[in-house]
Amino acid sequence: MPHLDERLIPVFDEVITRNPGETEFHQAVREVLESLGPVVAKHPRYTDAEVIRRLCEPERQIIFRVPWTDDAGRVQLNRGFRVEFNSALGPYKGGLRFHPSVYLGIVKFLGFEQIFKNSLSGLPIGGAKGGSDFDPKGRSEAEVMRFCQSFMTELYRHLGEYTDVPAGDIGVGEREVGYLFGQYKRITNRYESGVLTGKGLSWGGSQVRTEATGYGTVFFVNEMLAHAGQSFDGKQVVVSGSGNVAIYAIEKAHQLGARVVACSDSDGYVVDEAGIDLDLLKEIKNGHRGRVADYAKGRSSARYVAGGSIWQVPCDIALPCATQNELTGTDAKGLVENGCLIVAEGANMPTTPDAIRLLRDAGVRFAPGKAANAGGVATSALEMQQNASRDSWSFEHTEARLAEIMRSVHHRTLETADEYDVPGDYVAGANIAGFTRVADAMLHLGLI
């Protein structure tokens, strides 16, 4: 296990003690703390003021029940969460996830990551995350609406465009954001469009928001390639997942000259040596919410593999865009043996700690999610800007702003890595750059 500076060991031990059983949160905290040894050595003010201890404790944790009725009239019960982690840089900002795996530890891990991702973006937004163990899969439109309305009936009192601005995440797309915003508007009697992002284009949404995380990840990798004197031209790419992030990462990689040969869902993965047919994939996933197995049925050049690991497919660039801890140490060995050059996280913490170590030790350039997938929240912040000014920007203008932000994140990451004598280390650079900005703001705001 990597070295943890002795000044930070008590901080991590306290996190374990105060948050028992929340393994994903423990993992996220340790991953950041492992990078901060040189920072606390150079700047003791952070430990003197207990900034790191305070960063690891959310400002507010909200847990509530969500009762609703299904189409048969039966009462259903779920649990809702919102962890408002840190607001030193601006209003809380982070998505809502509706998935059966959601519990407090998942929400805290996501919220903790969000602090540093939002800080690294350079935009004035704090970190938060929320969600529910509700599963929208297989539910009717009416059931999803009733759940969203019940969820917002409690959550609304904690939100506001200057307080906390949620967005979507797994299981929460434009449909769910619409139902949530409708209920917020109904309860508050205010058309406060900046209170939720990921809205429909006809009622306050931003161009490029749907594409932003996938596009942003590819923009970041493009900067990594350019820094090494390379490009996407002719590169073979594997993308895990087949939701919005994966689909638009595939789209932008194709536009930049790469060939994406594989994508996946929770049941298995599909390999298409001719290159993924994006129109077909969009029709299957967005048109009738199908599975990637259906893709292979409609494409003669494709083969479907049930189960297994998509990371067995040889590639130059690997983009994990599905869910946390999906790329394991065994997968990393396979990527290294197959000559993979770059792994960039399009999802939140999709690579296990042992996999990250293996990749970095083997010289594979590894970009953590707080840098590589910052495009989603960055475009949410652009949506907030448009809502605040009652404005609407073109697709081209918004995409150009996104590309500019991702270039800045890449530059800030490498510049910070150089400053702390770990040149080319994207993990340390992202963690330290994200930390120092929010930590300095906390010092300026006093003990709150």
The catalytic residue positions are: 129
DSSP-assigned letters across all residues of 297-349: HT-TTEEEEESS-GGGS--SEEEE-S-TT-B-HHHHHHHHHTT--EEE-SSSS
Give the pairing of strands 259-265 and 236-240. parallel
**Using an 8 Å Cβ cutoff, are 222 and 409 in contact?**
no
CA distance 239 to 179: 31
Q: Which helix (H) or strand (E) holds 45?
A: helix 45-48
**Using an 8 Å Cβ cutoff, are 74 and 109 in contact?**
no
Place of tokens 């409708």: 182
CA distance 236 to 406: 22
Residue 160 has a CB neighbour count (10 Å cut-off) of 17
Tokens of 67: 């009762």
Q: Which helix (H) or strand (E) holds 259?
A: strand 259-265
Q: How far apart are the first and last CA of the chain?
A: 34
Tokens of 144: 């999803």
CA distance 114 to 106: 12
Give the pairing of strands 342-344 and 317-320. parallel
Cα–Cα–Cα angle for 116, 98, 403, nearest 5°? 40
CA distance 371 to 349: 11
Closest CA to 369 of 327, 316, 310: 327
Coil/strand/helix, residue 96: strand
Angle between helices 375-388 and 395-419 (to 10 degrees): 130
Residue 303 has a CB neighbour count (10 Å cut-off) of 13
**Using an 8 Å Cβ cutoff, are 320 and 249 in contact?**
no
CA distance 185 to 169: 21
